[in-house]
Structure 1
Amino acid sequence: MKSGFGVCPGTCGELVQGLMAKGEYISSYCIDLYSKAKIFEKSNSDIKNKLGKKSLTAIEMILDRFSIDKNSLNNLDIEITSQIPKGKGMASSTADIGACIMATLDFYDIYMSPEEISDMVAKIEPTDSIYYPEVCIFDPLKGQKKISLGYLPIEKVLILEPNLKINTVSIRASKQYYDKLNKNKIFTETAFKMLKKGFKKEDLRLIKSACENSALANESIKNTPFLRNLIECANKCDYGFLNIAHTGTVVGIGISQKTDLEKLTYEITNSDISKIYKKIYLCDVVRGGLRKEG
Structure 2
Amino acid sequence: MTGPPGEQHEASPYGPVQEDGVGVGTANGTFGELLQGVLPENELDFLVTLPITSSSTAEFRLAPSRREVVVRPPHKAKSRLLAERILRAHGHRGGGSLTITTELPEGKGLASSSADLVATARAVGAAMGVRLTEREIELFLRGIEPSDGVMYPGIVTFYHREVRLREKLGFLPPLTIVAHDAGGMVDTVRFNQSKKPRSESEKREYAQLLRELTDAVQVGDLQTVGDVSTRSAEMNSTLSPRKHFDDLLRICRDVGGLGLVLAHSGTNLGVLLPGDEDEQADSVEYVRKSCAAFTGSVSVYRSLGPEGERPDGPERSEDPLLRDPETPEAPFTTSVGHHPGT
Partner Cα distance (2:98, 2:68) in 1: 6
Change (3 A) 1:241 1:150: farther
**Which residue pairs with 1:237 in the alignment?**
255
Which 5+ residue runs of structure 2 have no aligned equivalent? 1-18, 307-342
**Which residue pairs with 1:82 in the alignment?**
102
Paired residues of 1:222 and 1:247 also in contact (CA < 8 A): no
Partner Cα distance (1:286, 1:264) in 2: 18
Partner Cα distance (1:44, 1:159) in 2: 46
Paired residues of 2:56 and 2:119 also in contact (CA < 8 A): yes
Change (3 A) 1:228 1:181: farther
Paired residues of 1:136 and 1:148 also in contact (CA < 8 A): yes
**Which residue pairs with 2:214 in the alignment?**
196
Letter in 2 for 1:208: G
Partner Cα distance (2:217, 2:184) in 1: 32
* Between 112-121 and 257-266, the greater mean CA deviation after superposition: 257-266
Partner Cα distance (1:114, 1:102) in 2: 10
1:1-294 aligned within 5 A: 2=20, 3-20=22-39, 21-22=41-42, 23-41=44-62, 48-50=69-71, 52-66=76-90, 68-70=91-93, 72-73=94-95, 76-174=96-194, 177-180=195-198, 184-257=202-275, 261-271=281-291, 274-281=293-300, 283-287=301-305
Q: Offset at 1:232?
A: 1.8
Partner Cα distance (2:282, 2:296) in 1: 17
Letter in 2 for 1:69: H
TM-score by length of 1: 0.85
Partner Cα distance (2:134, 2:107) in 1: 24
Q: Which has the higher contact order (CA 8 A, sep 6+)?
A: 1
* 1:135-182 CA-partner distances (Å, limit 9, x unpaired): 1111112222212211022343223323221112333455xx422476
Partner Cα distance (2:164, 2:141) in 1: 11
Partner Cα distance (2:206, 2:295) in 1: 27
- RMSD in angstroms over aligned alpha carbons? 2.5
Letter in 2 for 1:222: S
Moved runs in structure 1, 4+ residues, more than 3 A? 41-47, 180-184, 257-261
Paired residues of 1:19 and 1:182 also in contact (CA < 8 A): no
SS in structure 2 at match of 1:185? helix
Partner Cα distance (1:267, 1:121) in 2: 37
Change (3 A) 1:17 1:129: same
Paired residues of 1:37 and 1:103 also in contact (CA < 8 A): yes
Partner Cα distance (1:30, 1:113) in 2: 19
Q: How many residues of Structure 1 are paired with residues of Structure 2 in the alignment?
A: 280
Paired residues of 1:11 and 1:91 also in contact (CA < 8 A): yes
Change (3 A) 1:44 1:148: closer
Which 5+ residue runs of structure 1 have no aligned equivalent? 289-294
Partner Cα distance (1:230, 1:171) in 2: 24
* 1:173-225 CA-partner distances (Å, limit 9, x unpaired): 55xx4224767323322321221121123211211111011110000111222
* Between 44-53 and 144-153, the greater mean CA deviation after superposition: 44-53
Change (3 A) 1:186 1:227: farther
TM-score by length of 2: 0.74
Letter in 1 for 2:234: L
